[in-house]
């Protein structure tokens, strides 16, 4: 991040690049849609918004900025120096002076970059350090013989994997999105498939790339330095993990105390059903970890075995589907299961959990009426103070599950309703209704399409019937 801030400051100091994000084209300039701002008056921008700088000149300056961001400071300075001398020879002294000042700024920026005792070949130095199931990889970027940047990545699930495989994963993760691929990549250990990775990098660069595993010399020293950085960052990650493991948010402690739970409910899974008069029955599961929603673990369910509005049977189905799969896949069980509802829904959930051999699982029911909390084996609800942060957390979890379920239900109902309307048109079956929705995006899109446009999808005869159907309803 420090390198990025330094590069951005250099760009603003050296180049007259606009800071606005207006869409500037020939029409905008002709109509004088935009006016120059303060940056123009303080010599920080050349005013492209009013066409005060030729497009090719401004684009050339953008190319120079791209060279700076790629770390090609040395070659950029050499190119600018040639331009300066050419302008000077043509007696265009003002333009030569501008380039001279730009060169001075680039030289000052370049001096701040750490020089490396190697030739000027562009290189990336890549190494990693691993411990247990965690690893950290570091990439040092060398451009024109200078260290211009560093990036790092954390990797998981590395325990037992060969070093070459871990390193391949790191290279793929980094170079998949990297725009600047150097001519040489220096790594700490041989890869599992060096030939394939070399070929892939060469295809991305557009010319040959070599992968080197140095045994001695300056390159080997740089690999050791890179690995030391990775070790330091991995140690920091471990410290942060230990801190997170020791820290328990207060609402979780309060909830454990309120419900007299055996374990702190660090991971909570909450279920809710949604249907209207038994149509499109669905259910949702939301996950909260350490009191915060973990949306990547949310799940949605279409009720499959229940006909009509039967919340108890629906709850039995989704609880069994969820935890049978978790057990089969040896996944992580929650510390607390919350079902939205009273004693009936809770009893349904407990029945299934016992059937699955999860009789010791902590589970509660939270009824909307008076915010009553029900525990297994107790006929009366548990009384929790309304001011308790534990109760507020439960309400947040329950409300999120309800929102997620209702949103899913509305989506399904809207989709079914829209498709049914198209199905009412003579000659339009489910297949053609799907084709129409894919072509026009919605029933409204179909409604306002011309006969010719409809004919391209379903033929002239059916298109005429569709137009006639919608016209009769206007």
260 lies in the same domain as 388: yes
Residue 26 lies in a domain: yes
Q: CA 115 to CA 218: how far, in whole Å? A: 13
237 lies in the same domain as 257: no
263 lies in the same domain as 209: no
Q: 440-444: long-range contacts at Cβ-Cβ below 8 A with a sequence spacing of 24 or more?
A: 442/418, 443/418
For 260-272, how does the pLDDT look when each residue is reduced to its tens digit (9 = 90+)?
999 999 999 999 9
Residue 418 lies in a domain: no
Residue 157 lies in a domain: yes
331 lies in the same domain as 287: yes
Q: CA 153 to CA 136: how far, in whole Å? A: 6
Residue 275 lies in a domain: yes
Of 243, 269, 299, which one is at a domain's C-terminal end? 243
Residue 117 lies in a domain: no
The residue whose two tokens read 């411990």 is 131
Residue 448 lies in a domain: yes
What are the residues facing 276 on neighbouring strands? 279
For 226-262, how does the pLDDT look when each residue is reduced to its tens digit (9 = 90+)?
999 999 898 888 878 766 666 788 899 999 999 999 9
What are the residues facing 156 on neighbouring strands? 134
239 lies in the same domain as 260: no
CA atoms within a 13 Å half-sphere pointing along the CA-CB vector of 349: 33
Q: What beta strand segments (E) does 5-71 contain? A: none
Residue 271 lies in a domain: yes
Q: Is the pLDDT of residue 473 over 60?
A: no
20 lies in the same domain as 77: yes
The predicted pLDDT at position 383 comes to 82
CB 234 within 8 A of CB 129: yes
pTM of the full structure: 0.43
45 lies in the same domain as 101: yes
The predicted pLDDT at position 117 comes to 52
256 lies in the same domain as 356: yes
Instruction: With cut-offs at 50, 70 and 90, classify the pLDDT of residue 429.
Output: confident
> How many domains is the chain partitioned into structurally?
4
Q: Sign (positive/negative) of CA torsion 415, 417, 418, 422?
A: positive
283 lies in the same domain as 391: yes
308 lies in the same domain as 371: yes
316 lies in the same domain as 187: no
For 334-387, how does the pLDDT look when each residue is reduced to its tens digit (9 = 90+)?
999 999 888 889 999 999 999 999 989 999 999 876 678 999 988 888 888 888
Average pLDDT value for the chain: 85
Residue 203 lies in a domain: yes
261 lies in the same domain as 375: yes
For 441, the domain range is 424-472
The predicted pLDDT at position 207 comes to 93
């Amino acid at each position: 991040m420090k390198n990025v801030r330094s590069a951005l400051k250099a760009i603003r100091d050296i180049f007259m690049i606009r800071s606005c994000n207006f869409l500037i084209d020939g029409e905008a300039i002709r109509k004088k849609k935009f006016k120059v701002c303060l940056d123009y008056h303080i010599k920080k921008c050349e005013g492209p918004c009013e066409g005060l700088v030729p497009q090719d000149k401004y684009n050339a300056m953008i190319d120079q900025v791209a060279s700076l961001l790629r770390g090609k400071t040395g070659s950029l300075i050499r190119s600018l120096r040639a331009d300066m001398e050419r302008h000077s020879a043509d007696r265009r002294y003002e333009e030569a002076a501008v380039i001279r000042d730009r060169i001075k700024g680039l030289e000052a920026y370049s001096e701040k970059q750490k020089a490396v005792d190697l030739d000027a070949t562009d290189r990336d130095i890549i190494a990693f350090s691993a411990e247990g199931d965690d690893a950290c990889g570091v990439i040092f970027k060398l451009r024109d013989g200078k260290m211009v940047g560093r990036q790092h990545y954390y990797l998981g699930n590395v325990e037992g994997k060969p070093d070459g495989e871990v390193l391949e994963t790191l290279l793929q993760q980094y170079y998949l999105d990297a725009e600047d691929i150097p001519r040489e990549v220096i790594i700490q250990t041989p890869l599992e498939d060096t030939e394939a990775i070399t070929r892939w990098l060469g295809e991305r660069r557009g010319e040959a790339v070599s992968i080197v595993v140095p045994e001695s010399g300056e390159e080997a020293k740089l690999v050791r330095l890179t690995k030391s950085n990775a070790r330091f960052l991995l140690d920091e990650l471990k410290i942060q993990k230990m801190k997170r493991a020791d820290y328990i948010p207060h609402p979780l402690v309060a909830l454990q105390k309120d419900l007299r739970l055996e374990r702190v409910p660090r991971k909570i899974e909450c279920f809710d059903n949604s249907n209207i008069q038994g149509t499109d029955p669905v259910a949702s599961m939301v996950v909260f970890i350490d009191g915060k929603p973990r949306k990547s673990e949310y799940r949605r369910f279409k009720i499959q075995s229940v006909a009509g509005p039967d919340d108890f049977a629906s709850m039995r189905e989704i609880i069994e589907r969820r935890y049978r799969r978790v057990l089969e896949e040896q996944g992580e069980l929650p510390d607390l299961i919350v079902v939205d509802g009273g004693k009936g829904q809770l009893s349904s959930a407990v029945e299934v959990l016992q059937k699955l051999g999860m009789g010791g699982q902590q589970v509660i029911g939270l009824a909307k009426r008076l915010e009553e909390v029900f525990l297994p084996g107790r006929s009366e609800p548990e009384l929790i103070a309304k001011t308790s942060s534990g109760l507020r957390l439960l309400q947040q979890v329950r409300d999120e599950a309800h929102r997620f379920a209702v949103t899913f239900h509305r989506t399904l109902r809207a989709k079914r309703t829209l498709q049914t309307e198209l199905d009412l048109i003579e000659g339009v079956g489910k297949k053609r209704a799907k084709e129409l929705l894919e072509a026009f995006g919605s029933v409204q899109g179909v409604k306002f399409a011309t006969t010719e446009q409809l004919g391209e999808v379903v033929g002239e005869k059916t298109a005429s019937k569709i137009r006639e159907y919608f016209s009769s309803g206007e």
